[in-house]
Every structure is written in C-alpha cells, then in structure tokens.
Structure 1
Amino acid sequence: MIITSLRSKIRLVFSVTLILLGALFVYAIKYDSAKIEERNAAQERAISHYLYSYYLEHGKIDEAYLDAQNVSLITDKGRVIQIEHFFKQKGGEFKRYAVDTIHLKRIIIINNDRFKLILENKNKAKLPIKRVLIFSTVFLLIILLYLWIMRSLLPLSELKTKIQTFSQGNLDIECKSDKEDEIAEVANEFDHAVAMIRELLHSRQLFLRAIMHELKTPIAKGRLVSEMLNDEKNKARMHSIFERLNLLIDEFAKIEKITSKNFELNIKPYKMSDLLEASIDMLMIENPQRLISTNIIQDYNIEVDFELFTLVIKNVLDNGIKYSIDKHIHVVIQNNILEIINNAEALPEALENYFKPFHSSKKGLGLGIYIVKSILDIHQMKLHYKHEEGKNIFTLI
C-alpha cells in the first residue's frame, strides 16, 4: 500500500515515533528492574556475609543490623515449614544460600554450619517516578505537536474544497487567509487568480454580448429588406441566409454559456431518432434527404439536454456534409450508438487536436468539434472516430 496523503504520512511518522518512544520506555523500565535486582542480590549477599562474620565473633545474630537493613527474621513455625517446603520442591535439596519470591515477598535462606536463618527482605523496588515523568512529558509533547501540525493543515482541506467548487464552475468563492504560513500564501494566490479569472470571464461575457447585440440589429434590418424583394426565390434565399446568421449568433451564445458553465442542464429521456430529426432541422437546408440518408436499425432512448445535444449532432452532421467528397452523409442508429458516415479522406490530424477551440479550418471557425467535445463532456459521453475503406465514421457513445 503506497501512502500518498500528506496527513497519512504525518500520522505514520508520529505513530512510529510514539511506538519507538514506548519501546524505549519499556526497555528503560526493564533496565531499571535488572539494576535493582542486581543491587538487591549484592545487598543480600553482603547481609549474609556480615551475619556469618558477626556470629563467628559474638556468637549471635545482629538483629539491630537486620532492622537497619529493613530485613526481618521469620520465626513463625508455620511460615518456616511452608517456606522450607517451597524451596525443597523447587530445588530438591536445601541449599546453603537461596533467594526467591513467595507470595510477592522476597525470602532469603541462609543455611551454614553455624546457623540456619529464614529472612524476609522488605525493601521494595521504588517506582521510577522521575523516568515516568520524563517519558510522560515527552509523550504529551509529541501528541500536542501532532495536534498542532494537523490543525495547521485544516486550511488545506478548506482550500481543497474551494478548488473543487471552482473546478465545477462556481467562481463565487473566497479563500483569503490572514495567516503567514505557506498554506496561507497558496490560498491568497489562488484567491487572487480566481478574482482575475472572474474578471476576465465577466469581461468576455460583456464583449460577446455586445458583439451579438450589434450583429442582431443589422440582421434584423437585412431580414426586413429581404421581405421587400419582389423575387420570391431571392427573398427565400436571403431569408435563409439571415436565419443562418441568427442561428450562428445563438450558437455563440451557447458556446459562451458552455465554456463559462453558466447554465443548468435540463436532462430528460428522448428517442435518438427525435434528436436526429431536430438536429437536421437545425441545419436549415432545403430538401435534407438529398444530403442526409438515415437508417434507423434499432432506436433507443437517451437522457440528455435537448438543446445542447441536438447542437452536438447538428455540428457533426454539418462537418460530415462539409468535408464529404460527394456532399452526402449516412446516419445509422443501432446498438445504443449513433454513427455518422461520409465518403472523405482520413483526418490529417488526431481527433483530439480538433477538440481545441479555433483549430485551423478552411471551411469554418474551428469551433464545431470543440463545442461537440464540451457538451459531450458535460453529458459524460464521447465521440469516437475511425477511417475505413475511404469512409470517415464518427460514433457518439
């Protein structure tokens, strides 16, 4: 398992630190216990040696010395028998000198040629309070340091949320910070970038709206003038031209909405054949049957935004006709896919290059496929392309 999260790495570092600290504390306690045990053993042997020497010199046991060493002489017969029985079971025979713990009490047996004593060492191992305090303080400091660092990373989570909101097209965010750390610097720079983008988008929207407004007026005047023509054929042709220009302006408005994500999808189920029919109507061509042949093998329903998705199909149809050798395309609906086929040379570049806005085009603005890609991304759909036997095949999935 690869740890990539910054928080996970920090948790891992502190966890390892605490584990090592705990292991060091356990080792220190065991070391202290061993040292105490070694010191007690040396003390008990010294007591045994002193009692033997003192007995040889005075012929008795120095009980005052035992009291001073916090060692008591066991004289109760019941306890003596019980202790002797314990040592015999454990060692097989009664030794000259033995030390063991019975019922949490340290018992010493001295059995030599002069006397036989059973003693109880009442000296208890002291709790290493100093060491415990030191380790507890270090442990607490590490915990507090961990909490402080994790709290310092909280603004990073807030910044991540703001960035995700921004990526969804919501520019009404603010992530300024009055702190002075690196996260605050990043947050302030990102807030400044968002403000700049917001201003640029606002300026672009005003610019596009101004252009579209200015174009609408001459188009409307042109349509009025075309109505005054006496030749019905020219009148219809001029009317179609101005309708086409008006439709292009509407498309520019949709492009502006799509790229700025300033719209709400109206997703509903539609038959693909109905979407295709509406898209052909949007082409505004006379007698579309002479340019487009359709073959509905198996119709199907699809949940899309009607206006946007018909714009997708219309742009693909328009490009298919425009670049076809015989100015004719064949549309097939089957197996939950829509295929648009034309007789044409293979695309000179990879399809992905045409997804860029204002891609070099001899017969248009280079926006058609860019619009298609943008709308399909919104619908989580894709456009596929292949060239087989002199035919370009575009597939909507």
Structure 2
Amino acid sequence: MLFNLRILLNNAALRNGHNFVVRNFRCGQPLQNKVQLKGRDLLTLKNFTGEEIKYMLWLSADLKFRIKEKGEYLPLLQGKSLGMIFEKRSTRTRLSTETGFALLGGHPCFLTTQDIHLGVNESLMDTARVLSSMTDAVLARVYKQSDLDILAKEASIPIINGLSDSYHPIQILADYLTLQEHYGSLKGLTLSWIGDGNNILHSIMMSAAKFGMHLQAATPKGYEPDPSVTKLAEQYAKENGTKLSLTNDPLEAARGGNVLITDTWISMGQEEEKKKRLQAFQGYQVTMKTAKVAASDWTFLHCLPRKPEEVDDEVFYSPRSLVFPEAENRKWTIMAVMVSLLTDYSPQLQKPKF
C-alpha cells in the first residue's frame, strides 16, 4: 500500500529553524536514499563529497526530531559495540558518543591510555585487528593523524576520527547542523574564522566550499593552516565557486561574516607554548568590536572549552551565541555518523534545503 505521511514540526522545532517534513513511505518503510556510507571510515571530511556530508546532516536532523521532539525509541544499533580510544581528555566527544551510542541501543566501551597505549605496548596493526574482532566500530581521539590512518588500513571495521592534531570532522558536522537550524540553509553563508590554524580550521577548509559557503580566516603569522590543506581548500573553492580568504588581520576576516568562529589558542599538547601563544594571539579576542564589522545577522560559534582571552563574555553569552546548541548537536551528529556507517537506515524526514 502506498501512502503519504506528512508531519509538520512542532513550534519548538520551528523556533530552532527546522523546515522539514516526513517523506513518502511505501508499505510503512522509508524510500531508500542513494547515498550509502555503510562500512566507510570517517578520518577527514576531505574524503567525503558534499552530498555525503549533507546526508549525514540530514540523518542528524532526522534522529534529533524523531528521538528528541517525538520521543521515539530507535534501537538502530542494538547488539552493536563501539570501541572508544581516548589519548586526550574530553567532555563533549566522550559524553556525546557514549550517551548517543547507548541511546540507539548499542554498547560503548571507553579505553584510556591506561587501558590501551597505541603503538607502545601493542602495535597499531595488532590493536586494529583485535578491535575488529570484538567491536563493530572504533572512535579514536588521538594526537597523530597517522595513527588513525594505520588503524583504518589494518582494521576491518569503520574507524572514526574523534579528534587528531590535523582534523576534527565530527565537531564540524555539529557546527553545520547548528547553522542549518539557525539560518535554514548553509549555501551562501560567510564563515569568519579568527584564531589558530588548527584541526578545526582544517576541517572547515575541507568542507565549507562543498556547501557553497565562503571562508575568511585570520591567523597570526606563524600559525597559518597547513599549506597542503590550504592548497586543497583553494581547489574546492574554485570548483564550487566560493571565496577563500586567508589573512593575519582579525577584523578583515570578520568583515561581512555571518558566522564568527574561534577556538582554543592552546590545544592539548601545546601547554609549554602557552606564554608564546598568548603573546602571538594578542588582538584576536572576539568582542562586540569584532561583531560590528560582521553581517547584521551574525552569530558566534566556539567548540569549547572556552577561555576568556579567546572571546569575551558579552559575545559568548549573547543571544547571538550558538555555542550551547552547538555542543548539544555533537550528540545528534555523532549518532548520525554511527548509524550511517553501521546500518542501512534512511532518514524519514524530507531532505532539508542546504
């Protein structure tokens, strides 16, 4: 039996910027989407097309609506287990992954450096093979991107980058979902990055142009993004007709920007550089002075944890700040990543306008 099911989002969802409706069903089952990510690794968004990233955001919105707004129980990962390797401490990555995987019926297993010391007490190759025999996927929060590459090469299960010194793809998915909810569409937005040329900026550079977003990034001299990342980002901008601007002037990067974004100036492992970095980043604090040159509809993002020298309280706690919805969306986006890499589930909500 063919029938149409159309569900309008409730007022709370509308206030969050959703404009989605449920799609057509055949015999009670959602029509299959052409994008198939099952079995893939997520090491960097460089390896994913714009349509594939949009699919993960679509799935994130679908799960958030069905579970949070409608109160449905979706045991999509029942019987599955997740290995979680954490060389670096974490609040949002650990909580979002553990609670999200469990909410979908799966079992997450948290492993610290006290439990598993990558490449030291056991080779990366052996670790990958053992984990492949006992879990359905691995999320690893590590220092070196090369460790993730080896795990992915040797494992027979999906490997997800929970953060590395080079990339933080699951954070950027949460950022984009937050902006999608707020603005209704990502295409045409100008992202203004003010801070370090770090893993967050690298992940934005590997994906923003694929949505038709422009990027203006300001970093201090000596703290620019990796040249190889910049070269590829320039290629993406050319292919997608977007603008990429790199500067050392924070106000220049903020000018006309819809979204002001910053991050910590001192990442884990850089503590000994604190004094030098604080000096180099003088003038990079995001304030209302910065916002004055931004677009009239400006918003603010920070992946947390935040330090006052990076952004003052007036901006951080303002109505324009989306940092706490951004933090919550870490949960819905990592759930979508797990579902897309481990199952054949298709979203029931109509695909949003990106």
Q: Determine if the TM-score, normalized by the shorter chain, exceeds 0.5.
A: no
Larger radius of gyration: 1
Q: Give TM-score scaled by structure 1 length.
A: 0.21
Q: Give TM-score scaled by structure 2 length.
A: 0.23
